[in-house]
C-alpha cells in the first residue's frame, strides 16, 4: 500500500522538520548541525511524536534527550 502525501501533509512535515532543526541549531549552533542530525529531524518530522510546546527550553531538552538516546544505539 502506497501512502499518498498531500500538499498539506508535505507542508506539515516540513514545518515539523524545521521546528526540530531549529532546536538542534539552538543546542549545537548552526555550523555544528550535521547531516546525521538533519536526517534525525527528518525522521522525527515524519513520525507521530509530539514535542512539548510550553517553552523553548523544554523543546530543546526534549530533542537533546531523543538525540542522546538515538546516538547511544
Give me the residue spans of the domains in the chain. 14-71
End-to-end Cα spacing for the chain: 30
What letters, b where the CB count within 10 A reaches 16 and e where it falls short, cover 11-39? eeeeebbebbbbbbebbeeeeebeeebee
Q: Per residue in 18-58, pLDDT tens?
A: 999 999 999 999 999 999 999 999 999 999 999 999 999 99
User: What cell does 26 get?
Assistant: 539552538
Rounded CA separation 12/42 (Å): 12
pLDDT of residue 31: 97
What's the pTM?
Answer: 0.90
Helices (H), the chain: 7-28, 35-45, 56-71
Amino acid at each position: 500500500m502506497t501512502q499518498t502525501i498531500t500538499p498539506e501533509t508535505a507542508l506539515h512535515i516540513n514545518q515539523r522538520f524545521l521546528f526540530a532543526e531549529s532546536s538542534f541549531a539552538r543546542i549545537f549552533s548552526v555550523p555544528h548541525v550535521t547531516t546525521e542530525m538533519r536526517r534525525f529531524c527528518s525522521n522525527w518530522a515524519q513520525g507521530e511524536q509530539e514535542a512539548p510546546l510550553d517553552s523553548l527550553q523544554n523543546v530543546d531538552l526534549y530533542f537533546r534527550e531523543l538525540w542522546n538516546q538515538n546516538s547511544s544505539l
